[in-house]
Amino acid sequence: MKRKAYRNSPAFVLLAWGSFLAFGTLMIIGLVTLKEPLMVKGYYLMGSVGLISSAFTVAKVVRDNQEDEERYNQMFRAKDLEHVEKVEE
């Protein structure tokens, strides 16, 4: 029976989600206690949510590009090995 291999340890996953939830909670508390008009609070909230979602998107794009580059390099290494084997025959 095959077991799925995870890239990150459970402790690291817990740290990532825990810190995300903790800082999200602190941001909400800060916005609620901020003594500014609702328009200013909305602006800060909109900017924070946009920044967080952009950070997730950039991280995914960087990871995907690295994986694509690795796949591309593996494909050409395999072709080079085939070429070398044919030349040696």
pLDDT tens-digit readout, 29-86: 999 999 999 999 999 999 999 999 999 999 999 999 998 888 888 887 777 777 666 6
* Residues 24-63: b if buried by 16+ CB within 10 A, e if exposed: eeeeeeeeeeeeeeeeeeeeeeeebeeeeeeeeeeeeeee
Name the pLDDT band for 2 (thresholds 50, 70, 90): low
pLDDT tens-digit readout, 18-45: 998 999 899 999 999 999 999 999 999 9
Return the pLDDT at 54: 93
Return the pLDDT at 3: 72
Q: Is the distance from CB of 66 to CB of 58 less than 8 angstroms? A: no
